[in-house]
Structure 1
Amino acid sequence: MFVGSDVNGINPGTFDMSGGTLDVGDDITVGDTVMGTMTMSNGAASTADDFILNTKSSLTMTGGTLRVGDRLTTAGNANLFVDGGELTVDDDFFLFGDARATVDSGSIIVHDKLRFDDDVLRTGKMTINGGVVRSNEFGYVDVSDVHILRGIVEINGSGAYQVEAFNPGPISSSPVSQLSVPYAQQLIADGYFITSELAPLSLVATSIVVPEFDGRTNVAFTQISLVPEPASATGLLLTGGLLLRRRDLLS
């Protein structure tokens, strides 16, 4: 299924889904030879294969459910916006180049990797202002055996990003692809996870249990979200500020 496919490369394509059911036996491609725009406010849509969001094209979800049977890929300068509903990806979710993904409410559930690719300048960005983004792995690019995380995840408000927890053992994933709490804290410190919120809010990584994921129950995840700084720390900051101000007045 193509949204935005004009052999003359002139007329953009649009598709609006406000209810009903759409089952596509292969790919959904938004933006083929021209710009494509897909909006979804209700109903249930699914693909048997990939969902491809090409350059300068967009998908906006405000409700309903969309299940991608294989991979979701967003090209450079593409925009994905979720403000309600549930987007489920059975395999990987790739953000290429300077693609943008924004979640204000609802959820994106990725059963394999969420991965930024091919942009050494880290211009790709996912912003989570509310709702949940959950993935089995947080992808990385392996260049000469050096793990390079490309792209930025910004978390604000009630938004949360959850990655299946790293569980070392006889069979284990890379600590980069499945996150331990200490490694997630390091990624926050290194600026891969950021926030626009002001103190006393700050990003922290915590351990949580998700009741069901990928056919398994009670699955351990590492969650990155905002929490207030401890009251004692805030009190010390305020007290310090008052003391400094008093000294200024007395001097």
Structure 2
Amino acid sequence: MDNTVLHKADTRGDANHGWLHSRHTFSFANYYNPERMHFGVLRVLNDDKVAPAMGFGTHPHDNMEIVSIPLEGDLEHKDSMGNVSVIREGDVQVMSAGTGITHSEYNKNKDKDVRFLQIWVFPNKRNVTPRYSQISIRDVEKANEFYQVLSPDANDQGVWAHQDAWFHLGKFDKDITTTYNLKKTGNGMYFFVLDGEIEVEGQLLSKRDGFGIWDANRVNVKSLTNSRVLLMEVPMAV
């Protein structure tokens, strides 16, 4: 299909710094691939593993919506707005960098790795007042269907971002089929498999594979094994 893009797990950028092992779906830092700059406004999708008691020292960001989704372990966050918090599996964190912030992220544990997804989304408003938010999604988690963890609406379920984007997570049993209906016409959908195997419109996807599709109003997703999936609906125009 002309309206899809497939990013297999083993084709991602691979940066191993010892304390940090990061896989980059899109161009990032020393990994540059002109065919992998972004998917619409989805600019960065990093799959990070941080060694015990190690982490990212204080560093700056601006004019980016930054979403962190822990997969295992505990990640400590500190920023220039005075926020100090720990995020763990079952939490979702968002920062609007806006006019500029600095922050640090460290593995809170001294005996185990922390794994998390770091996701950057281009905002639809520049130079906003920086902000920080995190929530637990344990109370809204549902079995065998996608549940929302991010939207453009501060009053909706999950965290919110300065962009017409909707993020959903799903945990599916084997042989479950579900349909996702696009929230906004013209958006695209990017699937990232956290665990297991799924099929999206006939495309087989395995753990850590990414698959983008656009010019479609709905997609069918079948879980071929027990699986976990992150679905990001984003505008295609940057």
Q: TM-score range by the shorter chain?
A: under 0.3
> Greater relative contact order (Cα 8 A, min sep 6): structure 1 or 2?
2
TM-score normalised to structure 1 length: 0.23
- The answer to which structure has the higher helix fraction is 1
TM-score normalised to structure 2 length: 0.24
Q: Return the index of the structure with the highest Cα Rg.
A: 1
